[in-house]
Copies of this chain bind each other. A is one copy, B any other.
Amino acid sequence: MTAPQMPPEPPPAMPGDAGTSPFDHPCPIRDVLNRIGDQWSLLILQALTQGTLRFNALHRELGDISRQMLSRTLKKLEADGFVQRTLYPEVPPRVEYTLTALGHSFLPPLQALVEWADAHHLEICQSRRRMATPA
Q: Residues on A close to B: CB < 8 A?
A: 1-8, 14-16, 18, 20-21, 24, 28-35, 37-39, 42-43, 46-47, 49-50, 61-64, 78-81, 102, 105-106, 108-109, 112-118, 120-129, 131-132, 134
Interface of A is mostly: helix
Q: Are A117 and B31 in contact (CB under 8 A)?
A: yes
Q: In the bound complex, what is the Cα–Cα distance between A39 and B126 (angstroms)?
A: 24
* Chain B residues within 8 Å of A14, by CB: 125
Q: Are B61 and A121 in contact (CB under 8 A)?
A: no
Max count, chain B CB within 10 A of own CB: residue among A18, A28, A80: A28
Give, as a whole number of angstroms, the nearest-CB distance from A104 to chain B.
11
